[in-house]
Amino acid sequence: MQKIIPCLWFDGNGEDALKFYSSIFSNSRVIDRLFWGDTNPSLKGSLLTATFELDGQAFMVLNGGPEYKFTPAISMLVQCETQAEVDYYWDRLLEGGGQPVQCGWLTDRYGVSWQVAPLGDDPDVPGQGFGQRRPRDAGDDEDDQARPRRGTESLRRRVSKSWPYTSRRIAFLRHTSR
């Protein structure tokens, strides 16, 4: 059982979003649906909430009205193992009016922010993929300044060849791959 389930608030188009996302991600399924009843006669019979899974990750969709909008302050991260997978999710999430942003970010046609990012081993640094994190050791804070950045040049070469990251994104990836 997943304890924390993100709830995505839509303005009447939650059913469409549910179908759209389910068509993109494998192993997707709708778990349950709740429809408006007599409490709101103008919406009676339309979707109020639905719980669903995208590739095993649970979400809830809520048709709550126009009060709230999505912002990039919350985003969905799609970690990809190949360039073909990056291209697939990037293209599919942009379908129907999505907008590319920068650094592997995009906003889909519903206003939800997504990060589509490669995750893989850096061939020049055994065991250190640029999308992998290692556990921090007790003495890490003391020697952070003295420790050389592992794979920095390799990371820069690989990222610049395979994906249009900006230097800010490279710095983030370099920081998290130590």
pLDDT digits over 39-70, tens only? 989 999 999 999 999 999 999 999 999 999 99
Q: What percent of the chain has pLDDT over 70?
A: 67
CATH number of the domain enclosing 65:
3.10.180.10
Nearest in space to 76 (alpha carbons), one of 112, 119, 111, 47? 112
> Residue 53 falls within a domain, yes or no?
yes
Query: Structurally, how many domains does the chain consist of?
Result: 1
With respect to residue 22, please indicate whether it lies within any of the assigned structural domains.
Answer: yes
Closest CA to 52 of 28, 23, 30: 30
Tell me which long-range contacts 126-132 makes (C-beta under 8 A, separation of at least 24): 128/177, 129/177, 130/155, 130/158, 130/159, 130/173, 130/174, 130/177, 131/79, 131/173, 131/176, 131/177, 132/177
Q: Identify whether 41 is part of a domain.
A: yes
Residues in the chain: 178
Is 60 a domain residue?
yes
Strand partners, 54: 57
Residue linked to tokens 């912002």 = 71
Alpha-helix runs per DSSP H in 51-139: 83-94
For residue 158, pLDDT over 50 is answered with no
Confidence of residue 119 (pLDDT cuts 50, 70, 90): confident
In a domain, 125, yes or no: no
pTM of the model: 0.69
Q: What's the confidence (pLDDT) of residue 64?
A: 93
Residue 162 lies in a domain: no
What's the average model confidence in pLDDT over 78-102? Answer: 96
Domain enclosing residue 17, as ranges: 1-69
Q: Assess if residue 136 is contained within a domain.
A: no
Asked whether residue 130 is domain-assigned, the answer is: no
Q: Give the residue, 124 or 14, on which the prediction is more confident.
A: 14
pLDDT at 32 over 60: yes
Inform me whether the pLDDT recorded for 143 exceeds 60.
no
- Indicate if the pLDDT at residue 71 is higher than 50: yes
Cα(93)–Cα(173) distance, integer angstroms: 23
